[in-house]
Amino acid sequence: MKKQFAIIGLGRFGTSICKELFHMGHEVLAIDKTEKKIEMAGAFATQTLLCDATDETELSKIGIRNFEHVIVAIGDDIQASILCTLHLKDFNIPRVWVKAQNDYHHKVLEKIGADRIFHPEKDMGNRIASFLTSEKVIDYIDLSADYSIVEVLASKKVNGKSLIDLNVRARFGCTILAIKQNGKVNVTPDPSEKLNQGDIFIVIGNKQDLMRFQEAAL
């Protein structure tokens, strides 16, 4: 379903969100205070607007109140990011998602009601560290400090074994959500079917349990 988004701040983070949403067919309003950024965004936004997002009156004039979902991707200028978020929450916009620069910025954003807070550089650093420490991890989503979902590549150790043989939940305390075979995701795998090297397990669990699973079972 087509949705409407407003992206404030067209640095690398804001621009990539903008491009992806536009590519997915959504309506995207791209906002920046720099003319050059606005000219560039014409190629990947439904509408572009030159606006200083710290100015409550300007934000009100451009009709930001009509948006249900606004992403604040102002990076370096923490004060501007906080002020803009404050205005958006004062306008009662239901979903205000904000990029945070550091933990102090995060705390303030939380206090003023940001609905979701991102740390793209930190998150990407964690992801890359996970890939580096295990050649079997293909992808990774952090759910909390303790829990993750990982995609793990099966080695030849699984050849001829089934999910019943692996007995993952009892042995490791994590749960297989789905198996990817030949590019297709199967969310209801047959527990007695034989597995093969190259299959990809999508597993949820505590990080330590997931680590034990990767090391021992595969």
Among the listed residues 3, 20, 24, 34, the single contact to ligand ATP using CB under 6 A: 34
Among the listed residues 21, 22, 49, 75, the single contact to ligand ATP using CB under 6 A: 75
* By CB under 6 A, residue 172 contacts ligand ATP: no
Query: Is residue 174 within 8 Å of 204, Cβ to Cβ?
Result: yes
Judged by CB under 6 A, which stretch of 49-57, 128-136, 141-149, 170-178 contacts ligand ATP? 49-57
Q: Which helix (H) or strand (E) holds 8?
A: strand 4-8
Least distance in Å: CB of 98 to ligand ATP? 12
DSSP states along 16-85: HHHHHHHHTT-EEEEEES-HHHHHHHTTS-SEEEE--TT-HHHHHHTTGGG-SEEEE---S-HHHHHHHH
Residue 155 to residues 20, 70, 152, 160, 206: CA-CA distances in angstroms? Answer: 34, 43, 9, 11, 22
Nearer to ligand ATP, 14 or 189 (CB): 14
Tokens representing 116 are 């979701």
- φ, ψ dihedrals at 8, nearest 5°: -110, 115
Least distance in Å: CB of 164 to ligand ATP? 47
The length of the chain is: 218
Among the listed residues 6, 28, 53, 203, the single contact to ligand ATP using CB under 6 A: 53
Nearer to ligand ATP, 47 or 133 (CB): 47
* By CB under 6 A, residue 80 contacts ligand ATP: yes
In the bound complex, which residue of the shown chain has the CB atom lying closest to ligand ATP? 75
Interface residues toward ligand ATP, by CB under 6 A: 8-14, 31-34, 37, 52-54, 74-77, 80
